[in-house]
Structure 1
Amino acid sequence: MNSMMKIIREQLRYFYLVRRLSVYELRSLTSGNYLGMAWEIINPAIQITIYWFVFGFGIRQREPIGDIPYLQWMLAGILVWFFITQAVMKGSKSIYSKIKMLAKMNFPMSVIPGYVIFAQFYPHLVILGLGMVFLQFIGYPVSIYYIQLPLYMLSLLAFLFSLVLITSTLTTIVRDVQMLLQSIMRMLLYLSPILWPPTLLPETWQPYMKLNPFYYIIEGYRYSLLGEGWYFLENPVYTAYFAGVILLTFFIGSYLHIKFRNQFIDFL
């Protein structure tokens, strides 16, 4: 508990620094490209087109998901997955890749994963905004359910930060963890309800899909963008489960980070 409170105090005290460093990080990632930030939109657009063609036309033969056309259904879920993937992968290697550069600066190391995640959050907001505009023109206008989106965004940021506290610590100690994470994230793309609906599974298997905490966020985004309802109210038990996962992950991540951060430099 002491570790959790210490991490929270550090984030609140240095939040202004998190914002400043996240903007610097974003600029540094795109400064060497002619198109700059445009690649943060071009790459997801290319991937969405490929997935839509392969799964929408090839595998599903343009068959809708319930009453929702496949493109709209897939788009509403995959928009958040791009952010999840980038935040987990870049956040997990943030400490060992930046600690030498930032060692002389006077702030706690827990700031590093935080600002790296925030640097990926800005492109997510841009992509999400473009996705909303696109949905307006293909039959899914803005609805009252959009007001629940900030809840899922904040929940996702809390979970990603908690998770990255764990993975960045382990990756600093054992570099092989980063390679394992790459494989896990690739698998989760196909094991999460992004490219195919969980209703294709036998009914007895479907509850196990919900053990994946990203399932909650993806469905929350989908309910919001497609106007399907209030997901967190319609699934109170699952909402409580997701909150419990965040608390447990944050507890473990805080403990590991505080325990090992004074030794991080020894593992470089």
Structure 2
Amino acid sequence: MKSALTILKEQFSYFYLVRRLSVYELRSLTSGNYLGMAWEIINPAIQIMIYWFVFGFGIRQREPVGDIPYLAWMFAGILAWFFINQAVMKSAKSIHTKIKMLAKMNFPMSVIPSYVIFAQLYPHLVLLAIGVIILQFMGFPISIYYLQLPIYMIGLLAFLFSLSLIMSTLTTIIRDVQMALQSVMRMLLYLSPILWPPTSLPESVQPFMMLNPFYYIIEGYRYSLLGEGWYFLENPIYTAYFVGITALTLMVGSYLHLKFRSHFIDYL
């Protein structure tokens, strides 16, 4: 618990630096491209069309999910996944790829995965805004349920940061972790309720699928964007589970980070 409080104090104390470095990170990633930030929209758009064609026309043959057309259902969930995937992968390798460049700067290393995640948040907000506009034309107007969307975004940021403390530490110590993580994230794309509804599985299996914290976030996004209800109120036990797993991940990640960060430079 003490480690978690130390890490949280560092984030609040250096939040101004997190914002500045995240903007610099985003600019550096897009500065060499003619289209710049536009690629943050083009790439997801291409992937959405591919998934819609394969799963909407091919495997599922355009079957709706309940009363919701498949494209709208898939689209609302995958908006969260693009942010999750990029944030996890880039924050996991953030320390061992940037520590040499930032070693002489006077700030705690826990800031590194934090600002990398924030750099991915900006394109996510742009993509989300475009997604909201598209959903209006698909028959899903802005509703009062949008008020709960910030809850899932804050929860997602908290979990991503907590997870990044673990993964960035392990990746710095053991390079193979990054390769294993790539495989896990590909697997989670199909094990999370993004491309197919979990209700198609036997009821005995569905609770095990819900152990995935990203399941909670993705469903929360859907309930918000598609106006299905107040997900966090309708599923209080699952909400408590997500808060608990986030807190546990933060405590474990904080302990590992503080334990090894004075030796990070030795692993480079």
- TM-score w.r.t. structure 1 length? 1.00
- CA shift for structure 1 position 133: 0.2
Deviations 1:120-159 (A, max 9, x none): 0000000000000000011000000000000000000000
- CA shift for structure 1 position 162: 0.1
Take 1:112 and 1:224, find their aligned partners in 2: how far apart are those partners?
31
- CA shift for structure 1 position 195: 0.1
Written as runs of structure 1 = structure 2, the 5 A alignment for 1:256-267 is 256-267=256-267
Aligned counterpart, 1:107? 107
Take 1:60 and 1:182, find their aligned partners in 2: how far apart are those partners?
26
Take 2:241 and 2:6, find their aligned partners in 1: how far apart are those partners?
25
Equivalent residue letter for 2:120:
Q
- CA shift for structure 1 position 170: 0.1
Aligned counterpart, 1:23? 23
Aligned counterpart, 1:35? 35
Alignment pair present for 1:252 and 2:252: yes
Written as runs of structure 1 = structure 2, the 5 A alignment for 1:111-126 is 111-126=111-126
Take 2:258 and 2:267, find their aligned partners in 1: how far apart are those partners?
15
Aligned counterpart, 1:239? 239
- CA shift for structure 1 position 34: 0.4
- CA shift for structure 1 position 180: 0.3
Deviations 1:183-217 (A, max 9, x none): 00000000000000001101111111100000000
SS of the counterpart of 1:147? Answer: helix
Aligned counterpart, 2:176? 176
Aligned counterpart, 1:143? 143
Take 1:61 and 1:172, find their aligned partners in 2: how far apart are those partners?
44
- CA shift for structure 1 position 2: 1.4
Take 2:103 and 2:203, find their aligned partners in 1: how far apart are those partners?
52
Deviations 1:46-74 (A, max 9, x none): 00000000000011111100100000000
Q: Aligned-pair RMSD on alpha carbons? A: 0.3
Aligned counterpart, 1:222? 222
Take 1:247 and 1:2, find their aligned partners in 2: how far apart are those partners?
13
Aligned counterpart, 1:11? 11
Equivalent residue letter for 2:77:
G
Take 2:237 and 2:61, find their aligned partners in 1: how far apart are those partners?
35
SS of the counterpart of 1:202? Answer: coil
- CA shift for structure 1 position 42: 0.1
SS of the counterpart of 2:114? Answer: helix
Deviations 1:51-104 (A, max 9, x none): 000000011111100100000000000000000000000000000000000000
Q: Structure 1: which 5+ residue stretches go unaligned?
A: none
Equivalent residue letter for 1:227:
G
Aligned counterpart, 2:94? 94
- CA shift for structure 1 position 227: 0.1
Equivalent residue letter for 1:195:
L
Equivalent residue letter for 2:245:
V
Equivalent residue letter for 1:249:
T
SS of the counterpart of 1:44? Answer: helix
Take 1:60 and 1:174, find their aligned partners in 2: how far apart are those partners?
40
Take 1:187 and 1:4, find their aligned partners in 2: how far apart are those partners?
29
Take 1:18 and 1:177, find their aligned partners in 2: how far apart are those partners?
25
Equivalent residue letter for 2:144:
I
Alignment pair present for 1:208 and 2:208: yes
Written as runs of structure 1 = structure 2, the 5 A alignment for 1:78-93 is 78-93=78-93
Percent identity over paired residues = 79
Take 2:63 and 2:105, find their aligned partners in 1: how far apart are those partners?
55
Take 1:206 and 1:111, find their aligned partners in 2: how far apart are those partners?
37
Aligned counterpart, 1:186? 186
Runs of 4+ in 1 over 3 A off after TM superposition: none
